[in-house]
Amino acid sequence: MLFGILADSHGLSDKLRKGIAVLKERHADEILQLGDVADTLRPDTVDECISLLIENRIRGVMGNHEYSLVMHHFKRYPERFLETTKQYVQSLPRRIIEGDICFTHFSPSGGIYGLFAPTDEQNYEETIKASRWPIIVNGHSHDPRIYRQLNGVVEDVGIQPNVAHRLDKESRYILTCGALEDSYCAMLDLTSRRFEIILLE
């Protein structure tokens, strides 16, 4: 299975459109969007961005901006948004589970705090140690990263764009795809156990 991964386009519909096109060109079996596809500071693009996900049959998870839309904007200004947009966003789960992999915005635990948690090293370490999934794939941090836990030690192993990184079976991982707003997306190949950050041109 080959997953294309997008996150944090923050209402930039042109970036979202390009990211989707690139992942399709790379023959992703499925594209997942890991939160903050919309941005509450760009309410005029919410409908367009959500429509792109719906048209391309992209499953997503709720990010902190989607949570804010549901809790505030949809209640205060319901007439500003399409019904299909509101239905899609309100139905977003906090995580998508595929086998032993958890796809989420940042942390799969911690309730709503998991959507807003700071992306510092301490939070990464706490998240990877507390997780019941050996691999977490997330967004939220705009910087692409790979955190690995091996023999109880957690380290940021570093990652170079457009180079596939092999995931060994003995380690646990947090794979952060980076922000589409900053021209990053990613591919996760479950067959070869490879994760690649793609820097869009």
Tell me the pTM.
0.93
> How many CB atoms within 10 Å of residue 150?
13
- Say yes or no to pLDDT of 106 above 90: no
- Structural domain count of the chain: 1
- pLDDT 10s digits, 74-95: 999 999 999 999 999 999 999 9
Mean pLDDT, rounded, of the chain: 93
Q: Residue 17: pLDDT band by 50, 70, 90 thresholds?
A: very high
What is the predicted pLDDT for the residue at 201? 83
What region does 147 belong to: left with phi over 0, alpha with psi -120 to 50, or beta?
beta
**Overall average pLDDT of the 146-160 stretch:** 93
**53 close to 20: Cβ distance less than 8 angstroms:** no
- pLDDT 10s digits, 108-150: 776 555 555 666 677 788 889 889 999 999 999 899 999 999 9
CATH number of the domain at 108, please: 3.60.21.10
d(CA 35, CA 70): 13
HEC string of 45-80 equals HHHHHHHHHHHCCCEECCCHHHHHHHHHHHHHCHHH
Print the domain residue range for 69: 2-199
